[in-house]
């Protein structure tokens, strides 16, 4: 028996036959992302508890079989469920989908990795909760924990999601069990409330990493606000955009705007509103100027600014609204600023939505299905996200680069600036294409590489990496690679957890 066969036998023993999957169809699905990948998966493990995760990893270690953990596997645009190295067993944590704790007054929710945004929202609503969990732009079926560990960005006051979590339970590749913060002490009253604990703070180590499997996390919730107004504002030309970036940065810094807000370019708005106009363009790509111009007329401009104002009462809200309107004053189109249609039902107050997934179907000739699944539907979709200083000047410099490059590869520059903090924007680009068109996988991958190289060359470095960056090396000026490698060895002496993820191994010679 090979090492893998021995491991499979033990995993079956530990998890039960039905939860160790080796059917070729299931494996092929799991090996499929929204761009070209070549990694093969020998088995899918579906543990149901922290104890089963520990047992699975001990078996993996004993037999030297690498394991790649995913929560719900909706990492679309970053590699979906596909492991960065060949031959990893996929550990799917979807069966661990319990909500373990909730406190209405202290505003938190403790969950397992299988809990999704859709599930958490429905659960809180069923409780009649006055609280909400931040939503994301991606799938409503994404995992809270998976998203937070990738340091995803959301909507509302807790947009920097990983900044608003604590109390991680982590299983190390050795099978050891770790609690971060005060949870490691018996009977602690502050485990879900206080992130630092005492001694070195370890939470950050387990984000964007291959150092442990997080099996529990607490999310701090925000209070639904009696006053909530979404705003939307078209910006006719780019010069006006960058001036507004500066004005709105002021409002973020002084606390008028406490939630995240967004700057979308025309192509992003277009590709969320509808798929590529193949009929009108007679099947020609990339998008001709006249077609974009037509869409712009409907949108009212080159860019759109959107966000939400929220306040604990109407009086306060009215004052904030005046401040915001002053900052947006002078834009030719009227600002839409009004109460949310259905009481409080806004993505800025936790209502998840799959609306943005239309983007992934942009270049598909088949219509977007009721239940979108970009992996299955051979959507071509690659995210590129970098950090940019929150000034109009820096935004202009980064946007200029980012708008130019996709066109060189026959793709549309779908991009947005998201407010990460009053100091920093995320510039996110989506490369959308059709995997059924020959050569497009390679072209999109080449485009991603050119984009990330050019952006890094201009000083804009990634906020998140996916499989599309495998093999790329970001040159570092310090000893971090060697140090991370030693920490990795200390935590994962057999190197079995997610090898190759986030460059914890030194880059190959290039």
- Does 78 participate in binding its own copies (rule CB under 8 A)? no
Q: How many residues sit close enough to its own copies to count as binding (CB under 8 A)?
A: 95
Query: Between 360 and 415, whose beta carbon lies closer to its own copies?
Result: 415
What lies within 8 Å, CB to CB, of 156 at 6+ separation is: 132, 134, 135, 222, 259, 260, 308, 310, 348, 349, 350
- Does 85 participate in binding its own copies (rule CB under 8 A)? no
Per CB under 8 A, contacts with its own copies among 31-60 are none
> How many angstroms separate the CA atoms of 226 and 312, rounded?
6
78, 220, 270, 276: which one binds its own copies (CB under 8 A): 220
- Greatest alpha-carbon span in the chain: 74
Binding mask 102-141 for its own copies (x = CB under 8 A): ---xxxx---------------------------------
128, 478, 509, 510: which one binds its own copies (CB under 8 A): 478
- Does 145 participate in binding its own copies (rule CB under 8 A)? no
Tokens of 399: 């946007």
Q: Which stretch binds its own copies (CB under 8 A): 24-32, 352-360, 421-429, 443-451?
A: 421-429
For residues 25 and 62, the answer to whether their CB atoms sit within 8 Å is no
For residues 311 and 317, the answer to whether their CB atoms sit within 8 Å is yes
- Does 320 participate in binding its own copies (rule CB under 8 A)? yes
5, 13, 127, 204: which one binds its own copies (CB under 8 A): 204
Residue with token string 């299983």:
171
Q: What does the buried/exposed string (b/e) look like for 482-505 if buried means 16 or more CB atoms within 10 Å of the residue's CB?
A: eebeeebeebbebbbbbbbbbbbb
Angle between helices 314-328 and 238-254 (to 10 degrees): 150
Query: Between 19 and 464, whose beta carbon lies closer to its own copies?
Result: 464
- Does 256 participate in binding its own copies (rule CB under 8 A)? yes
Q: Which of 87, 123, 71, 119 is nearest to 8 (CA)?
A: 87
For residues 497 and 210, the answer to whether their CB atoms sit within 8 Å is yes
- CA distances to 35, 313, 503 from 470, in Å: 13, 49, 8
With H, G, I as helix, E, B as strand and everything else as coil, classify residue 68.
strand
Query: Between 147 and 256, whose beta carbon lies closer to its own copies?
Result: 256
Tokens of 152: 């995803």
Per CB under 8 A, contacts with its own copies among 160-189 are 162-163, 172, 176-179, 182, 184-189
- Does 209 participate in binding its own copies (rule CB under 8 A)? yes
Long-range contacts formed by 454-462: CB under 8 A, 24+ apart = 454/401, 454/405, 455/384, 455/386, 455/398, 455/401, 455/402, 455/427, 456/386, 458/397, 458/398, 458/401, 460/386, 460/387, 460/388, 460/398, 460/401, 460/427, 461/386, 461/387, 462/384, 462/385, 462/386, 462/387
Query: Between 50 and 97, whose beta carbon lies closer to its own copies?
Result: 50
> Which helix (H) or strand (E) is 305 found in, with range?
strand 303-311
370, 475, 508, 509: which one binds its own copies (CB under 8 A): 475
Taking the complex as a whole, the smallest distance from the CB of residue 308 to its own copies amounts, in Å, to 14
Q: Which stretch binds its own copies (CB under 8 A): 230-238, 366-374, 375-383, 418-426?
A: 418-426
The DSSP secondary-structure symbol of 357 reads G
Query: Between 190 and 281, whose beta carbon lies closer to its own copies?
Result: 190
Per CB under 8 A, contacts with its own copies among 356-385 are none
- Does 144 participate in binding its own copies (rule CB under 8 A)? no
- Does 412 participate in binding its own copies (rule CB under 8 A)? no
> How many angstroms separate the CA atoms of 510 and 508, rounded?
6
42, 101, 288, 389: which one binds its own copies (CB under 8 A): 389
Query: Between 197 and 301, whose beta carbon lies closer to its own copies?
Result: 197
> How many angstroms separate the CA atoms of 90 and 69, rounded?
6
Per CB under 8 A, contacts with its own copies among 231-250 are 249
68, 76, 390, 448: which one binds its own copies (CB under 8 A): 390
491, 496, 497, 498: which one binds its own copies (CB under 8 A): 491
The DSSP secondary-structure symbol of 497 reads B
461, 471, 473, 507: which one binds its own copies (CB under 8 A): 461
**Cβ count near 186 (within 10 Å):** 5
26, 202, 325, 437: which one binds its own copies (CB under 8 A): 202
- Does 190 participate in binding its own copies (rule CB under 8 A)? yes
- Does 201 participate in binding its own copies (rule CB under 8 A)? yes
Taking only Cα atoms into account, the Rg of the chain, rounded to an integer number of angstroms, comes to 23
Taking the complex as a whole, the smallest distance from the CB of residue 476 to its own copies amounts, in Å, to 5
Per CB under 8 A, contacts with its own copies among 431-460 are 456-460
> How many angstroms separate the CA atoms of 167 and 144, rounded?
14
Taking the complex as a whole, the smallest distance from the CB of residue 250 to its own copies amounts, in Å, to 9
- Does 482 participate in binding its own copies (rule CB under 8 A)? yes
- Does 479 participate in binding its own copies (rule CB under 8 A)? yes
Taking the complex as a whole, the smallest distance from the CB of residue 469 to its own copies amounts, in Å, to 9
């Amino acid at each position: 028996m090979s090492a893998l066969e021995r491991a499979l036998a033990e995993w079956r023993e530990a998890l039960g036959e039905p939860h160790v999957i080796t059917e070729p169809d299931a494996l092929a699905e799991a090996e499929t992302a929204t761009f070209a990948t070549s990694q093969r998966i020998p088995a899918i493990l579906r543990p149901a508890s922290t104890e089963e995760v520990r047992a699975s990893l001990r078996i993996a270690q004993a037999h030297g079989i690498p394991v790649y953990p995913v929560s719900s596997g909706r990492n679309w645009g970053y590699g979906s469920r596909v492991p960065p190295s060949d031959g990893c067993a996929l550990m799917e944590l979807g069966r661990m989908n319990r909500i373990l704790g909730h406190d209405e007054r202290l505003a938190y929710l403790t969950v397992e990795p299988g809990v999704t945004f859709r599930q958490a929202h429905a659960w809180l609503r069923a409780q009649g909760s006055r609280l909400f969990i931040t939503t994301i732009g991606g799938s409503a079926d994404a995992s809270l924990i998976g998203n937070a560990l990738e340091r995803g960005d959301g909507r509302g006051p807790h947009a920097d999601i990983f900044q608003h979590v604590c109390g991680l339970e982590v299983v190390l590749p050795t099978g050891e069990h770790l609690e971060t913060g005060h949870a490691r002490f018996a009977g602690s009253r502050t485990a879900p409330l206080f992130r630092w604990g005492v001694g070195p703070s370890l939470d950050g180590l387990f984000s964007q990493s291959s150092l442990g499997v997080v099996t529990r996390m607490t999310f701090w919730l925000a209070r639904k606000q009696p006053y909530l107004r979404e705003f939307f504002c078209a910006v006719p030309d780019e010069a006006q955009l960058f001036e507004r970036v500066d004005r709105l940065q002021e409002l973020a810094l002084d606390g008028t705007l406490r939630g995240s807000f967004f700057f979308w370019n025309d192509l992003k708005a277009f590709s969320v509103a509808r798929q590529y106009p193949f009929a009108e363009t007679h099947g020609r790509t990339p998008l001709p100027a006249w077609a974009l111009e037509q869409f712009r007329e409907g949108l009212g401009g080159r860019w759109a600014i959107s966000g939400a104002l929220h306040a604990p009462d109407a009086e306060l809200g009215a004052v904030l609204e005046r401040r915001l309107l002053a900052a947006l004053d002078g834009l030719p189109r009227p600002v839409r600023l009004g109460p949310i249609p259905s009481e409080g039902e806004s993505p800025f107050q936790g209502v998840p939505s799959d609306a943005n997934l239309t983007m992934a179907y942009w270049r598909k000739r088949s219509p977007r299905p009721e239940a979108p699944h970009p992996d299955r539907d051979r959507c071509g979709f690659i995210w590129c996200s970098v950090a940019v200083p929150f000034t109009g000047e820096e935004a202009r410099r980064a946007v200029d680069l980012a708008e130019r490059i996709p066109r060189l590869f026959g793709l549309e520059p779908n991009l947005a600036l998201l407010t990460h903090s009053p100091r920093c924007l995320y510039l996110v680009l989506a490369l959308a294409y059709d995997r059924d068109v020959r050569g497009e996988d390679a072209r999109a991958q080449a485009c991603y590489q050119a984009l990330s190289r050019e952006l890094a060359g201009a000083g804009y470095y990634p906020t998140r990496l996916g499989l599309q960056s495998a093999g790329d090396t970001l040159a570092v000026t310090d000893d971090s690679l060697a140090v991370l490698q030693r920490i990795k060895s200390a935590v994962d002496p057999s190197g079995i957890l997610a090898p190759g993820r986030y460059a914890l191994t030194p880059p190959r010679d290039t």
